[in-house]
A = this chain, B = another copy of it.
Amino acid sequence: MRHDNVITSKQLSREDIETILDRAAEIDADPSAVANAYPETILGLLFFEPSTRTKLSFETAMKRLGGNVIDIGSIESSSVKKGETLADTVRVIEGYADALVVRHPKQGSATMAAEFVDVPLINAGDGAGHHPTQTLLDLYTIRENAGLKDLSIGIMGDLKYGRTVHSLAYALSNFDAHQHFISPESLQLPREVVFDLHQEGASVREHESLGEILSTLDVLYVTRIQRERFPDENEYQKIAGEYQIDMNTLEAASDDLTVMHPLPRVDEIAPEIDETAHAAYFEQAHNGVPVRMALLDLLLGDAQ
């Protein structure tokens, strides 16, 4: 892989993705082989927005490679509050750390930040923009459970605002997946995303109801419909309810259906599904560690 920074999943070729997923699988199979690979490496975490699993999973990944992290902490206690620009902050932290992970509410911020530093920089979410490591762990989870070949995947819920969904859709277009998008009309994929996917030659179908295509799916990727998108609580309750799944819903599904969710969930997936073979969402969260270990290893190894 020849990248200094990982900013978008669009930037990664199919070959890049496979290199990362292959390395993640190797690490997953034998983590102790890399447990002391980067004993002198410090990863700088700059999360200008709240995050639990992404931040902890990067932290875990670096520590499982034998390295360490420093964390700029919350905005409240940082120089950012004194009016420092992102460009200045990253240039300071660059002097402390060997690589940076940045989450920032403004779209494009990671691209901008990367221009100011010489150490590898990974985008961990830039507002409505990109979140490539989420996409990589999603792809890894799909590959481990259903395979990426001839994949039929349903992506359901809030498709309008979810950067996770857009990034995944773009990445899947590299793998000739049959992509079904299931959502209420008001939360459909943005037209420009559909247009882009068609340009990429992706196989895209849109549905308002899961029932239409559930039986044909290998993977069902559920996302949360956020209350705050709806001016009216009743409207929210009615619509959200139609895109929640339980054991009853899954009766029409294949026995091999893999259910995914980026977490945290609220009530999109009934807890009764957790104990079934369908549930892959906790495994999906856990896969953040080997995937991010692989990515760090490839970036830091190249940098050495």
Q: Which residues of A contact B (CB under 8 A)?
A: 32, 35-36, 39-40, 42, 50-53, 56-57, 59-60, 63-64, 68, 70, 72-74, 76-84, 87-89, 91-97, 263-266, 271, 282-283, 285-286, 288-289
Contacts and interface: CB of A to CB of B under 8 A. Distances in A.
A264 B77 contact: no
Contacts of A80: 52
A80 B56 CA distance: 14
Given A83-B264, A289-B96, A70 B78 contact: no
A178 to B, nearest CB: 29
Given A42-B64, A63-B42, A266-B82, A56 B96 contact: yes
Given A95-B285, A282-B95, A88 B264 contact: yes
Contacts of A87: 271
29 contacts: A32-B40, A35-B39, A35-B40, A40-B64, A42-B60, A50-B77, A50-B81, A52-B77, A52-B78, A52-B92, A56-B70, A57-B96, A74-B76, A79-B263, A84-B263, A84-B264, A87-B271, A88-B263, A88-B264, A92-B263, A92-B282, A92-B286, A94-B282, A95-B282, A95-B283, A95-B285, A95-B286, A95-B289, A96-B289
Contact of A70 (B39, B59, B76, B96): B59
Given A82-B264, A286-B95, A60 B56 contact: no
Interchain residue pairs A-B with the least CB separation, the first 7: A95-B286, A84-B264, A60-B96, A79-B264, A50-B77, A52-B79, A52-B78
**Chain copies in complex:** 3
Contacts of A36: 39
Contact of A91 (B42, B82, B89, B282): B282
Contacts of A97: 60
A198 B78 CA distance: 37
A286 B52 contact: no
A1 to B, nearest CB: 24
Contacts of A265: 84, 88
Given A74-B74, A74-B77, 11 more contacts: A32-B40, A35-B39, A36-B39, A42-B63, A50-B78, A59-B70, A92-B263, A95-B282, A95-B288, A95-B289, A96-B286
